[in-house]
Structure 1
């Protein structure tokens, strides 16, 4: 393991954090055990307290897993990431990050909404909706299970969803532009609704549910979606600014 040069940099945990990420990405793979804290502290020329702070942040960000009395291991890293403040289709997100989007297990039904669906879409329970269930893949890796509902009145004829992006379909076929969304962020076990089977997870794995209503520029609810993301494969972050 060749030493990193810290000349010209203050020996602070921010610098060590950056160098540790570089080291992990270049020298280690998922599941590998990192050198001991003492070795890493000597390697970077910092105190163990500084090194521990950098490791703590790395663990919070999901880069490593620390096992008491055993050591620090490189964790599996998400293949996709997105800012929580950004609203874009999953299709576009995959393409921007170099993955070809695919869809499998798509089921489209015309049905009546339950109480929550009717409330979210602001329609009576006697008004039909189109419900779309599907698993989205980055290349061949399932990353999100999507359940989307739209008022059936939006479609003058039989609904035929073609393509990968529902946002693009609404815009190109119906002239409907999704301007913003209001989202609830709910952690839950993957065993609920058999999400673990759809995303190739374990029952006790945790998934992140984005339960959200999408509105057009006239503040009309167009789409109610429940998207189940695996934190193992998809990382969300948020940029927070002082006000």
Structure 2
């Protein structure tokens, strides 16, 4: 029976608040939004089995086809996975959507999608300055640089492998040594650049490429060398368009997805 709004009732298993499905909006999109919220707030915990299509169809008063379409989208996003003849389950770490156009702190990105962010600092040390790095950072070959290696985690699972290279002129002498002794002072990185270095990040110039985890400078046993990875190499500039940081980010193919808005230019 067609009605203007279909109520979503709380059941005994999942203490979820009531939601309404409004008919002038796309039903599949509304179902998708509700299920995504339940995954995000852990009403459906990681590795838990989702209600059957029949059960969800009865709950939302929609067809199984509509439920299946919403579930297909969740599978494509990496939020859930299917086991033939058993059912659908919530992924332990769903793919994290990264809006690639806008720079965002990794901690905020991870937290915004319902995970507890964490950082593992691998090392902070002075590294040799090559001609290539000097050209990128626009510094002389006799200057010094420091590399920070860290891994960002979501609920303890590694999702982003990060290398930041900073020139010594940016850090000054005392700050340079403090960073090497205590790399945690560099996070959040945007705040560190602005408040500690006095050089706010104005923009990035980024290059995106495909690689494998075997070429990632940070090694972890859970990631096979042959695992595909998306790599973003980017140079951060201050307001005077001077390079202040080189970053290399490895994103394992099963942990992250990227969203990009592409607009058609009409002449």
Partners of 2:81 and 2:163 lie apart in 1 by 32
The alpha carbon displacement at 1:239 in A equals: 5.8
Q: TM-score, normalised by structure 2?
A: 0.68
Partners of 2:38 and 2:252 lie apart in 1 by 25
Partners of 2:192 and 2:38 lie apart in 1 by 43
Gaps of 5+ in 1: none
2:232 equivalent to 1:219: no
Contact 1:149 1:224 in 2 (8 A): yes
Deviation sequence 1:179-203 (CA, Å, 0-9, x none): 1112233454333336451xx6331
Q: TM-score, normalised by structure 1?
A: 0.73
The alpha carbon displacement at 1:39 in A equals: 3.7
Aligned to 1:63: 79
Contact 1:195 1:228 in 2 (8 A): no
Partners of 2:136 and 2:217 lie apart in 1 by 23
Contact 1:106 1:134 in 2 (8 A): yes
Contact 1:150 1:222 in 2 (8 A): yes
Q: 1:122 to 1:8 in 2, by over 3 A?
A: closer
Aligned 1:170-185 pairs, distance under 5 A: 170-185=193-208
Please state whether the residue corresponding to 1:65 is helix, strand or coil.
Answer: strand
The alpha carbon displacement at 1:221 in A equals: 1.5
How many equivalent pairs are there? 239
- Pick from 222, 228, 233 the counterpart of residue 201 of structure 1: 222
The alpha carbon displacement at 1:150 in A equals: 2.8
Q: 1:74 to 1:93 in 2, by over 3 A?
A: closer
The alpha carbon displacement at 1:226 in A equals: 0.5
Q: Which has the higher contact order (CA 8 A, sep 6+)?
A: 1
Q: 1:34 to 1:188 in 2, by over 3 A?
A: farther
Q: 1:209 to 1:7 in 2, by over 3 A?
A: closer
More displaced stretch, 219-228 vs 5-14:
5-14
Contact 2:95 2:256 in 1 (8 A): yes
Please state whether the residue corresponding to 1:175 is helix, strand or coil.
Answer: coil
Over aligned residues, Cα RMSD in angstroms?
3.9
Gaps of 5+ in 2: 1-9
The alpha carbon displacement at 1:123 in A equals: 4.6
